[in-house]
Structure formats: C-alpha cells, structure tokens
Amino acid sequence: MNLGATPGDGATEFLVWAPEAKRVDVALVAPDRRVVPMQEQDEGHWSARVEGIGVGARYMYRLDGVELPDPASRFQPEGVRGPSEVVDASPLDLGRWRGLPFRDVVFYEVHVGTFSRAGTFDGVTERLPYLKDLGATALEIMPVAQFSGSRNWGYDGVFPFAVQNSYGGPAGLRRLVRAAHEVGLAVFMDVVYNHLGPEGAVLGRYGPYFNDAYRTAWGSAFNFDGPWSDGVRRYFVENALMWLRQYGMDGLRLDAVHAIMDLSSHPFMLHLATEAHAAAEAQQRPFHLVAENDRNDMRYIRPAWEGGFALDATWADDVHHAYHVLLLGEESSYRNDYRAVSQVAKGFESGLIYTGERSAFRRRRHGSPTRGLGRERFVTFLENHDQVGNTQAGARIGHRASFEGLKATTAAVLLGPGTPLLFMGQEYDEPAPFLYFVSHEDPELVEAVRRGRRTASTSSGSSWLTK
C-alpha cells in the first residue's frame, strides 16, 4: 500500500504513519459523515479500507481524538487546514513519450502563479508551443506542494504530496504534463525535502519527522538518520515516486540538498536515487535527479561505487556568480570570490569554479574536484528564481548589464559545455521584477517575513539562506 488515500474497486485504502499514536480513525467529511477505525500495522503504520467511497471523498484523520488533514494528502481543496480529498492515483498515461536523455536538456524554469495571466497549470499549458519554438526541451516547475494562502514562491509548502489548489490541483497538473509530452517537452518538478513552511504543517504532530539534533536555516531538520527515520525516509521516497508515476514527471530538482542532515551509513540521498532510478528503469525511461548544492560537493553526483550519492546533475551557482561579477562588477559578500575573468574559463573547463580552492568569503577551502564528471551534469544559468528574487527589488540582470555583455554571456551559457537553464522571461529581457512573495493567513507571520526579507536584502551570504 501507498501512504495516503488510494481509491479503486468501489473502496478506498488509507495508510498513515503515526508511530506514537494510541488510536487513529478515518473521519469522513463528504459525501457522508462517518468514522472508521484504523488497524495498527508494522513499524507505526495504520490502515483501513473504506467501502463505498472513491475519488472526490473528503476526510480527516482522527489522531487520539484530534482531527488533522492527511500528511500524505494528494489534494487540499480548502487549503492547509481543511479536509483532504481522495484523487485519482493511477499512473499517468505516457502515450508515446519515453523521456529525454539529460544531454538533450535545455531547462526553462517557471513559476506557475506568475507565468501566465491565469496563474494556473492550464495557463502554462497554453504557452507550451511558445516554449517549444523557443528551443527549450524541459519545463522546470517551481514547487507546487500545498502552501498556506493562494500566492507563494512555493518553498513554504507544508503538504509535500498535495498539489496546490489555487493552481488547479492534481487534475490541472496532469493535464499540463500530458500536454508538454505531446509537444516534446520533458517536465521536472522542484521539490523541497529539507524543510516545511511555517503555517499549516501537521507532520510533526503525526510522529518524529524532525531531528532536533540538527538545525537548518529554516528550523529543525527532517529526521533522516535518527530513531524512527525509516518511516520518514519512506515518506519522502514515496513522494519522489509519486511525481514519477502519478504525474509522469521526467525528473526532480532537489532544493538545497546541503541542508538535508544525515550522518547515517546509508545516506538518504543515495537511498532516494537508488529507489527512483529503479522505478524509472521499470518504466523503461530516464528519471533525472538534479541537486541544488551550495557546497560544490561532488559526492552528490558521483556514482555509488565511488562513494557518491548517484544523483544525475547539480546546479552550478558559482558559475552564475562569475558571470554576474563579469557583467556588473559588483563587490558584495560572497561575490568577492569571483573577481577574475579566468574563473569563467575554469567554469567551462571544470563545470564549477571552486573545486577545492580557498574561498576568502567562506574563510576555508570550498568544493571538491570534478574530474571524470561530464560537463553536461552542471546546470548553468544567468538567472534563476533565487538569483533574481533574492536581489534588491527582484531586479533581473538584463536591467543592469550592457546589451553586448548580456548577449555574450547568454551565448556562453547556451553554447557552453554545461546544461543551460533560462528563467521565465529571460529570453526577451522581461521588464517586470520577480520579487519574493507570500500570502500567509497569520498577520504576525506576514510581518515577520517582511522584516526578515528586509534584513536579507542588506546582509551577505548565499542566496539559498533567504528562500
């Protein structure tokens, strides 16, 4: 059984991990109201089969008398505090689509809520022919896991399995992926396995999902190596496999993997890669895992037999920094590490710039050698959501650089040895800024975010710290 609610044959199977609970029930909300006791299974799981309900039914779990949404909910139609809804969990029909080799990937990163006037998956779907004509081969979607409110960058998701209701929910995303494949575009989903958003989260109430021995920039780290961590790992591995099977995704962009704390002998990143690649092989198509890795740590993309975690590629943020300084000559915080034109050549040659050299900003050696790794495994860019949204006023690089310099560096990204990525609107120098935004319901939280962003806009440090 899969975690969450799985409909079929006139009934729905429910499975939830709640290892510390004494009693768990399914509390149906619609189409009728009733409470069905769940049976305790192995390793803290609880299950129930409920006859006579299917897609569209809404429910909560009653955890020792307290009603909460399903932590593996696929849809939260009424938001983060409302009931969960049973959705079609069948695999997406791929038709003739059999995936895309990573060497052929040209990423185009989009935010669903701002890429079209509609701000929905269907709005993105309408623009797919344009992206195909542009030359993109892969759509990279910023996170759509359910967050509080209707507008958000996506990195404040609190239900990792649930597709954002204000974007069109699971059905809208399935339509988008199917349409993308029909025009020959791969689809990658940006996922966050290092933290939850600050409003509406329920995972910690179900069990030991967090390990207080570690801290991240966003609070407690997920429990990938402590007691009960097998259940936490299962949760996130199933999440990755859901994007592959239920939505037909071609890969994942893994947010801030350096903030995934794990000192176990079998690292979660390797566990995830092994399971995901095996599932993709069973479907006879590739499934690519791309890391955002602030440490320039090549263990993430080296094969297991070299002591690596077997991911497929990594974002090359410090190549972006070198281009940025070359174009704008800015002197600030970590970008002071990128003053030499020769560093651009190093990026071409090695995929990254800091591969073990001393960083003045970090006051230590930074990165590890990239020898033996194909240059296509380094995703390069002049813009992405972080590097635009975390600048003052969300300004794009094209607003500040010379046109000749912009043309030259764009050509270097597109024609260089790395895998190129364009951020939405970059190709025509979009005049609108891309600012950080949220629509949390708690006024005090909104004010806290506002203060934090003001501080972040004037402080030094890597962009991932201020997501």
* 182 is an active site residue: no
Residue 27 included in any domain: yes
65 and 123 share a domain? no
pLDDT value of position 467: 54
Residue 311: pLDDT band with limits 50, 70, 90: very high
- Are 284 and 413 in a shared domain? yes
pLDDT surpasses 70 at 239: yes
Angle value at C-alpha 315, between 160 and 124, nearest 5 degrees = 55
Q: How far apart are CA 243 and CA 233, in angstroms?
A: 16
Q: What is the pLDDT of residue 68?
A: 98
Same domain, 234 and 132: yes
User: What three-state secondary structure class fits 393?
Assistant: helix
Quote the domain boundaries for residue 261: 102-466
| Alpha-carbon gap, residue 127 to 324, rounded angstroms | 29
pLDDT score at 460: 40
At 381-425, the pLDDT tens digits run: 999 999 998 877 788 888 889 999 999 999 999 999 999 999 999
Other residues' Cβ atoms within 10 Å of the Cβ of residue 456: 17
Q: What is the pLDDT of residue 465?
A: 40
Same domain? For 301 and 184 the reply is yes
- When pLDDT is cut at 50, 70 and 90, the band that residue 464 belongs to is very low
Which residue has tokens 């037999």? 305
pLDDT of residue 394: 84
| pLDDT mean over 309-321 | 96
Q: What confidence tens digit (pLDDT) does each residue in 37-89 have?
A: 999 999 999 999 999 999 999 999 999 999 999 999 999 999 999 999 999 99
| CA gap 288, 379 in Å, rounded | 12
Instruction: Round the average pLDDT of the chain to a whole number and report it.
Output: 93
- The one-letter code for the residue type at 292 is E
Write down which residue in 27, 51, 85 finishes a domain: 85
Structure confidence by residue, pLDDT tens digits, 136-187: 999 999 999 999 999 999 999 999 999 999 999 999 999 999 999 999 999 9
Kind of pairing between the strands at 24-30 and 11-17: unpaired
Q: Is the pLDDT of residue 463 over 60?
A: no
Choose between 450 and 293: higher pLDDT: 293
Total domain count, the chain = 2
Relative to beta strand 138-141, strand 107-110 is parallel
How sure is the predictor about 120, in pLDDT bands with cuts at 50, 70 and 90?
very high
> Among the options 70, 156, 255, 337, which is catalytic?
255
If phi over 0 gives left and psi between -120 and 50 gives alpha, with beta otherwise, what is residue 42?
Answer: beta
Same-domain check for residues 73 and 141: no
- Residue of 156, 292, 297, 317 with catalytic role: 292
User: Is 96 part of a structural domain of the chain?
Assistant: no
Q: What is the pLDDT of residue 296?
A: 97
Same domain (yes/no): 55, 129: no
* pLDDT for residue 458: 53
What per-residue confidence (pLDDT) applies to 426? 95
pLDDT, tens digit, 9 for 90 and up, residues 332-385: 677 789 988 899 999 999 999 999 999 999 999 999 999 999 999 999 999 999
CB burial class (10 A; 0-12, 13-18, 19+) of residue 278?
A: exposed
* 264 & 156 share domain: yes
Confidence of residue 331 (pLDDT cuts 50, 70, 90): low
Is residue 286 domain-shared with residue 423, that is, in the same domain?
Answer: yes
User: Is 94 inside any structural domain?
Assistant: no
Is position 259 within any domain? yes
423-460, pLDDT tens digit by residue?
Answer: 999 999 999 999 888 888 888 888 888 887 777 655 54
**Which of the listed residues 53, 85, 117 is the one where a domain comes to its end?**
85
Looking at residue 68, which CATH number applies to its domain?
2.60.40.10
Q: Please indicate, yes or no, whether residues 144 and 259 belong to a single structural domain of this protein.
A: yes
DSSP string, 189-223: EEE--S---SSS--HHHHS--EEEEEEETTEEEE-
| Domain end point (choices 54, 85, 116) | 85
Q: Where does 3-70 have alpha helices with state H?
A: none
Instruction: Tell me the average pLDDT across 314-336.
Output: 87
Structure tokens at 447: 């004010």
CATH of the domain at 403: 3.20.20.80
- The confidence band for 462, taking pLDDT boundaries of 50, 70 and 90, is very low
Domain annotation covers residue 93: no
Q: Is residue 268 part of a domain?
A: yes
Reported as a pLDDT band with limits 50, 70 and 90, residue 466 is: very low
Residue 273, helix vs strand vs coil:
helix
Q: Which residues have CB under 8 Å from 90's CB, separation 6+?
A: 246
pLDDT score of 195 more than 70: yes
Q: Residue 91: inside a domain, yes or no?
A: no
Q: Are 59 and 29 in contact (CB under 8 A)?
A: yes
Q: Which helix (H) or strand (E) holds 185?
A: none
Say what the pLDDT of residue 339 is: 86
Residue 92 placed within a domain: no
**85 catalytically annotated:** no
